């Protein structure tokens, strides 16, 4: 049975800064994701705090929010069959040093903070995250 899904993807400041936008977009396209919408933006820290509010009790929350708001990012709606789980597979483990060969974080990530990409982790969060950036 078909399960066409949409997920939110972010190319994080470390990857934008290293001019990896096109390379990372190509990784998605090669893996049958369609980029339905995309925009390059810079967000304020209070917006990052709202986006990452599920992590607010974590010790890394403050640094995480400072980081996401430290420079331009690219936010995208990606669509394909099982987009949420397929994107997480393609990104690889959160910590690039633990990510499998061939994954985006293994190829481009530099550390657990500067791990180049974010992807929604569930259908519920995909909807919330897509609305966060693309609700007109
Ligand atoms: P992301 O998928 O964007 O979701 C939350 C982010 O927190 C995660 O990627 C990491 O970049 C960052 N982070 C920093 N420290 C940790 C940690 N110890 N465990 C999990 N995520 C972390």
Identified catalytic residue from 118, 120, 126, 133: 118
Q: What sign has the CA pseudo-torsion 62, 63, 65, 71?
A: positive
Ligand 1 neighbours, Cβ below 6 Å, are: 55, 60, 64, 94, 112-113, 115, 118
Question: Can you tell me the mean pLDDT for 108-121?
Answer: 98
Sheet holding 117-119, edge to edge: 34-41, 73-81, 4-11, 117-119
Q: Does residue 118 have an active-site annotation? A: yes
Look at residue 82 and tell me whether its pLDDT is greater than 80: yes
Look at residue 132 and tell me whether its pLDDT is greater than 90: yes
Residue 101's φ and ψ, nearest 5 degrees, are -50, 140
Contact 96, 12 (CB under 8 A): no
What confidence tens digit (pLDDT) does each residue in 40-51 have?
999 999 999 999
Look at residue 10 and tell me whether its pLDDT is greater than 90: yes
Q: How confident is the model at residue 64 (pLDDT cuts 50, 70, 90)?
A: very high
CATH 3.30.70.141 fits 4-81+118-134, yes or no: yes
Contact 68, 13 (CB under 8 A): yes
Atom 10 in ligand 1: residue holding the nearest Cα: 113
């Amino acid at each position: 049975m078909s399960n066409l899904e949409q997920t939110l993807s972010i190319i994080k400041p470390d990857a934008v800064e290293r001019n990896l936008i096109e390379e990372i977009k190509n990784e998605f396209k090669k893996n049958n994701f369609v980029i339905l919408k995309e925009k390059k933006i810079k967000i304020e820290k209070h917006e990052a705090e709202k986006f990452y509010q599920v992590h607010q009790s974590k010790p890394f929350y403050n640094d995480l929010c400072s980081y996401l708001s430290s420079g331009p990012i690219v936010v995208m709606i990606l669509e394909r069959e099982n987009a949420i789980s397929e994107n997480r597979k393609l990104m690889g483990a959160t910590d690039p040093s633990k990510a499998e060969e061939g994954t985006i974080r293994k190829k481009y990530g530099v550390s657990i903070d500067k791990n180049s990409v974010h992807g929604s982790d569930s259908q519920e969060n995909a909807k919330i995250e897509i609305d966060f950036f693309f609700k007109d």
